[in-house]
C-alpha cells in the first residue's frame, strides 16, 4: 500500500480539497474554503495545514458563530451543493459555533465544523479552557455539539480520520440527512503524523441523488390528488434545494392546484404565477390561509410542517383534510399521517404531471383562487404605500426595498418583526431570491449569512433587512465584509428595540415589559426611562462600512439607489413609525400564556388563548384508498 506521511491536520485538509459533488451531470468542488479563528487549539494543527495548502482559501471571521452562519448562508444559496469548513480553537471558540450548528441542522444545511479539543494525551490536563469533570475524563465542551450535529466524532488517533471522513461526506451530501457535521480535533492529535494510504486523497465525487418515488406510494398519492376537489400545495425549502421550481410551475399550471409557500419555500414560484397564492401559516396571507382552512388535500412538498407553517396546527380546519407529503426525508414525509412519498421533489413533480394530465381543479375553485389572489395583491399595494407620517411604516420600507431590488436580487433576514411582514409582502420573482433563516430564527445570522449568499453568486445584489436588536447582537462580520471586499446592502431599522417581542408581550397582557431600549429609570427602578441614544451611523462607520441616514421614505429610496452604486458594504439606517404593523390574516401562533396571574390583562389574554387553542388539531387520519 502506497502511503504518505502527514500530520492528521494536513491529511484532513488534503482530503477536503479533493471532495466533489455531482448532480444532474454537473460536477464541482464541495468545499470552497475554510472560515474561522485561530487559537492555541487549532493554530499549530489545522492552521499549519492551511498555511501549507493555500489552494484551500482561509478566511478570518470575527466571531466563530458568524463563520458558521456564513457557511450556512452559502450552502443554502447553493442549494446545498457547496459549503465551507469552519475551524475554531478549543473552549469558547468552539462553543461559539454551537448556535450556528443548530441553525444548520434545523435548516438541513451542510456545514463541516472542526472545533479544536483538549489534549488526547491528557498528561498536561487541565489545559487552558478545559472543562473538567470529576466523573470522567472523557467529556469536554465539544460534547455540546452532539444534539445539534447530524454526525459527531472525536478523533483520538490520527488514523481515525480514515474511517470518519467517508461518514462526514455521506452525511453532508445526503438530501435527507444533511446538517452540521462536527469533528472534534484534540490539539495534540492534529499535529501527529501518520502514514496515510494515498487513496484517501484521490478525487472523490459524491453523487447527489434524486430518489424516485416508489410506485405504490406514488400511485396512492396521485389517486388522492385525482379525488380531491380543493387541493393545496405547500412548497417548502425542499422545492428550492431540489431546483424543482420549473417542474412545480408546470404541474401547478396544468392541474390548476394553488401553491402556498413556507418561509423556506418562498420563491418556489414567481409571485405572479396564476397558481401562486403566497405565504401560508402564522405569517401567512389571506389568500393562502383561506385556501388552507378549507382544503381537502394538502400536498406538502419539501416541508417540515413547522408551527409557523401549520399555524400551530390550526391552519387546516376541513374535517376531511388529508395529506400527501413529498420529501427526501422519511422523517418529514410521514408527518401529519400523510401518504409518504419519500422522494426528490423535482423527480416526483415531473412524474405527477403526466400521471394527472386529465386532472384539473373545478371552475369554482379556480375562480376562488383567482379572486383571493387578486384581493391579496391589492392588499400588498396598500401596505407598500400607506403614506405614514412622519416616519415610514415598516411595510413601506419593505415596499421601497422591493422596488429598488432587481428580479434576481436576494432579500435576506432572520429574526424580528420583519420576517412575518416579509413572508407576506415580498414579491419573489426568481428562485432563491428570498432567503429567510426561519428554522432557528437566529438574531445575528443576517450579516454573515448575507456574506455567504453574496459569495455564492456575486452577480446578485443582496439586501439585508436588519433590526436594531440584531445589529447590536452581532455587527462584527461587517469587518469581514470590508476585509473580503464583499458588498451587501443592509437596511437597519431603528425602532428602539424589540418591536416583535414587544408586540407579542403586549398581546399577552404584559405591556412590552423589557423589550424596548431604555435607560433604567431612577424613579421606577425599571427599564422604562429615557430612550437609549445609539448612533448606528457612527457605529457602522467605525467598522469601515458606508452608512447613510434616511430620515423619510423619500430619503430611503434615494439612499437605496446610492447603495446600489457603491462598491462597498452599505448600511442605510431608517427609523420607522411605531404601532403601524402589518396585520395577521386568519392566523394563529401558539405561545403559552400564564394560567394564573395578578394582572388583569394577562388573565384576559389567557382566556382568549384557551379559546383560540380549541382550533388546534391532531391530523391522525390517513387518506382513503381505492
Ligand X SMILES: Cc1ncc(C[n+]2csc(CCOP(=O)(O)OP(=O)(O)O)c2C)c(N)n1
Catalog residues that contact ligand X under the rule CB under 6 A.
Answer: 415-418, 441-444, 467-470, 495, 498-501
For position 467 contacting Mg ion by CB under 5 A, the verdict is yes
Q: In the complex with ligand X, which residue's Cβ is closer, 151 or 471?
A: 471
Which listed option, Mg ion, ligand X, none, makes contact with residue 500 (CB within 5 to 8 Å by class)?
Answer: ligand X
Contact at 8 Å (CB) between 583 and 382?
no
Contact at 8 Å (CB) between 415 and 470?
yes
Q: Which residue has the cell 425602532?
A: 495
For position 421 contacting Mg ion by CB under 5 A, the verdict is no
CB of 319 to ligand X, least distance (A): 35
Q: In the complex with Mg ion, which residue's Cβ is closer, 175 or 502?
A: 502
Which residue in the shown chain puts its C-beta closest to ligand X? 467
CB of 473 to ligand X, least distance (A): 6
Which listed option, ligand X, Mg ion, none, makes contact with residue 288 (CB within 5 to 8 Å by class)?
Answer: none
Q: In the complex with ligand X, which residue's Cβ is closer, 302 or 416?
A: 416
For position 420 contacting Mg ion by CB under 5 A, the verdict is no
C-alpha cell belonging to residue 172: 453532508
Cis amide prior to 126 (ω within 30 degrees): yes
Within 543-593, residue ranges assigned H as helices are 553-565
Which listed option, Mg ion, ligand X, none, makes contact with residue 475 (CB within 5 to 8 Å by class)?
Answer: none
Which listed option, Mg ion, ligand X, none, makes contact with residue 283 (CB within 5 to 8 Å by class)?
Answer: none
In angstroms, rounded to a whole number, what is the distance separating the alpha carbons of residues 229 and 374?
21
Q: In the complex with ligand X, which residue's Cβ is closer, 583 or 626?
A: 583
CB of 66 to ligand X, least distance (A): 13
Which listed option, ligand X, Mg ion, none, makes contact with residue 417 (CB within 5 to 8 Å by class)?
Answer: ligand X
Q: Please give the C-alpha separations between residue 375 and each of 234, 368, 371, 382, 610, in angstroms, as whole numbers.
A: 20, 11, 6, 11, 31
Q: Which value, to the nearest 10 degrees, does the dihedral of the CA atoms of residues 338, 340, 345, 347 take?
A: -140
Instruction: Enumerate residues 482-521 that contact Mg ion by CB under 5 A.
Output: 495, 499
Angle (CA) 405 406 412, round 5°: 50
In angstroms, rounded to a whole number, what is the distance separating the alpha carbons of residues 140 and 131?
6
CB of 444 to ligand X, least distance (A): 6
Direct distance between the N- and C-terminal alpha carbons of the chain, in angstroms, rounded to an integer: 59
Q: In the complex with ligand X, which residue's Cβ is closer, 103 or 161?
A: 103
CB of 384 to ligand X, least distance (A): 18
Nearest CA to 585 out of 234, 172, 284 is that of 284
CB of 499 to ligand X, least distance (A): 4
How many chain residues bind Mg ion (CB under 5 A)? 5
Q: In the complex with ligand X, which residue's Cβ is closer, 322 or 418?
A: 418
Q: In the complex with Mg ion, which residue's Cβ is closer, 344 or 468?
A: 468
CB of 418 to ligand X, least distance (A): 5
Contact at 8 Å (CB) between 277 and 373?
yes
Strands 570-575 and 546-550: parallel
For position 468 contacting Mg ion by CB under 5 A, the verdict is yes
C-alpha cell belonging to residue 196: 496515510
Q: In the complex with ligand X, which residue's Cβ is closer, 49 or 547?
A: 547
In angstroms, rounded to a whole number, what is the distance separating the alpha carbons of residues 324 and 326?
7
CB of 468 to ligand X, least distance (A): 4
Q: In the complex with Mg ion, which residue's Cβ is closer, 261 or 468?
A: 468
Q: Which residue has the cell 487559537?
A: 39
Q: Please give the C-alpha separations between residue 94 and each of 33, 153, 437, in angstroms, as whole numbers.
A: 18, 14, 22
Q: Please give the C-alpha separations between residue 128 and each of 97, 119, 572, in angstroms, as whole numbers.
A: 19, 10, 42
Span of 126-134, 174-182, 467-475, 484-492 interacting with Mg ion by CB under 5 A: 467-475
For position 469 contacting Mg ion by CB under 5 A, the verdict is yes
In angstroms, rounded to a whole number, what is the distance separating the alpha carbons of residues 183 and 287?
46
CB of 416 to ligand X, least distance (A): 3
Q: Which residues bind Mg ion (CB under 5 A)?
A: 467-469, 495, 499
Amino acid at each position: 500500500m502506497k502511503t504518505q506521511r502527514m500530520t492528521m491536520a494536513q491529511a484532513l485538509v488534503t482530503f477536503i480539497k479533493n471532495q466533489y459533488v455531482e448532480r444532474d451531470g454537473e460536477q464541482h468542488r464541495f468545499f470552497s474554503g475554510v472560515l474561522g479563528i485561530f487559537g492555541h487549539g487549532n493554530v499549530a494543527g489545522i492552521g499549519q495545514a492551511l498555511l501549507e495548502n493555500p489552494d484551500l482559501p482561509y478566511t478570518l471571521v470575527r466571531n466563530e458563530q458568524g463563520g458558521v452562519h456564513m457557511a450556512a448562508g452559502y450552502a443554502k444559496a447553493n442549494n446545498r451543493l457547496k459549503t465551507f469548513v469552519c475551524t475554531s480553537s478549543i473552549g469558547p471558540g468552539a462553543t461559539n459555533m454551537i448556535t450556528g450548528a443548530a441553525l444548520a441542522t434545523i435548516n438541513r444545511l451542510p456545514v463541516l465544523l472542526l472545533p479544536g479539543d483538549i489534549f488526547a494525551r491528557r498528561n498536561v490536563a487541565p489545559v487552558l479552557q478545559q472543562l473538567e469533570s470529576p466523573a470522567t475524563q472523557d467529556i469536554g465542551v465539544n460534547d455540546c455539539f452532539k444534539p445539534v450535529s447530524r454526525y459527531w466524532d472525536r478523533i483520538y488517533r490520527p488514523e481515525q480520520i480514515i474511517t470518519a471522513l467517508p461518514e462526514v461526506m455521506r452525511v453532508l451530501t445526503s438530501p435527507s440527512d444533511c446538517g452540521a457535521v462536527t469533528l472534534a480535533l484534540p490539539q495534540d492529535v492534529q499535529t501527529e503524523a501518520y502514514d496515510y494510504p494515498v487513496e484517501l486523497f484521490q478525487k472523490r465525487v459524491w453523487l447527489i441523488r434524486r430518489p424516485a418515488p416508489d410506485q405504490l406510494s406514488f400511485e396512492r398519492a396521485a389517486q388522492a390528488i385525482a379525488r380531491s376537489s380543493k387541493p393545496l400545495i405547500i412548497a417548502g425549502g425542499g422545492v428550492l434545494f431540489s431546483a424543482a421550481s420549473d417542474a412545480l410551475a408546470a404541474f401547478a399550471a396544468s392541474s390548476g392546484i394553488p401553491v402556498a409557500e413556507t418561509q423556506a419555500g418562498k420563491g418556489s414560484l414567481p409571485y405572479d404565477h396564476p397558481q401562486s397564492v403566497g405565504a401560508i401559516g402564522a405569517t401567512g396571507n389571506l389568500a393562502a390561509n383561506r385556501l388552507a382552512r378549507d382544503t381537502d388535500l394538502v400536498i406538502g412538498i419539501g416541508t417540515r410542517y413547522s408551527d409557523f407553517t401549520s399555524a400551530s396546527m390550526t391552519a387546516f380546519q376541513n374535517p376531511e383534510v388529508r395529506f400527501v407529503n413529498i420529501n427526501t426525508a422519511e422523517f418529514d414525509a410521514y408527518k401529519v399521517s400523510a401518504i409518504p412519498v419519500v422522494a426528490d421533489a423535482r423527480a416526483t413533480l415531473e412524474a405527477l404531471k403526466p400521471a394527472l394530465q386529465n386532472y384539473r381543479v373545478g371552475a369554482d375553485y379556480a375562480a376562488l383562487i383567482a379572486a383571493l389572489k387578486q384581493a391579496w395583491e391589492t392588499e400588498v399595494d396598500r401596505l407598500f404605500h400607506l403614506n405614514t407620517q412622519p416616519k415610514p411604516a415598516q411595510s413601506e420600507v419593505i415596499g421601497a426595498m422591493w422596488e429598488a431590488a432587481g428580479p434576481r436580487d436576494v432579500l435576506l433576514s432572520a429574526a424580528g418583526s420583519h420576517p412575518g411582514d416579509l413572508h407576506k409582502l415580498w414579491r419573489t420573482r426568481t428562485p432563491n431570491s428570498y432567503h429567510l433563516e426561519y428554522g432557528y430564527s437566529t438574531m445575528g445570522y443576517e450579516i454573515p449569512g448575507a456574506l455567504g449568499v453574496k459569495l455564492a453568486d456575486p452577480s446578485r445584489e443582496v439586501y439585508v433587512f436588519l433590526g436594531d436588536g440584531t445589529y447590536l447582537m452581532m455587527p462584527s462580520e461587517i469587518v469581514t465584509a470590508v476585509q473580503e471586499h464583499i458588498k451587501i446592502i443592509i437596511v437597519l431599522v431603528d425602532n428602539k428595540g424589540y418591536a416583535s417581542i414587544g408586540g407579542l408581550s403586549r398581546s399577552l397582557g404584559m405591556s412590552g415589559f423589557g423589550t424596548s431600549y431604555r435607560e433604567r429609570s431612577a424613579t421606577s427602578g425599571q427599564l422604562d426611562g429615557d430612550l437609549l441614544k445609539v448612533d448606528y451611523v457612527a457605529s457602522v462607520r467605525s467598522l469601515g462600512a458606508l452608512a447613510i441616514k434616511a430620515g423619510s421614505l423619500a430619503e430611503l429610496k434615494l439612499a437605496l439607489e446610492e447603495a446600489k452604486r457603491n462598491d462597498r458594504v452599505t448600511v442605510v439606517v431608517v427609523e420607522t413609525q411605531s404601532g403601524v404593523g402589518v396585520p395577521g390574516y386568519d392566523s394563529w401562533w401558539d405561545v403559552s400564556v400564564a394560567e394564573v396571574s395578578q394582572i388583569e390583562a394577562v388573565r384576559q389574554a389567557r382566556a382568549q388563548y384557551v379559546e383560540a387553542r380549541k382550533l388546534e388539531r391532531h391530523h391522525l387520519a390517513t387518506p382513503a384508498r381505492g
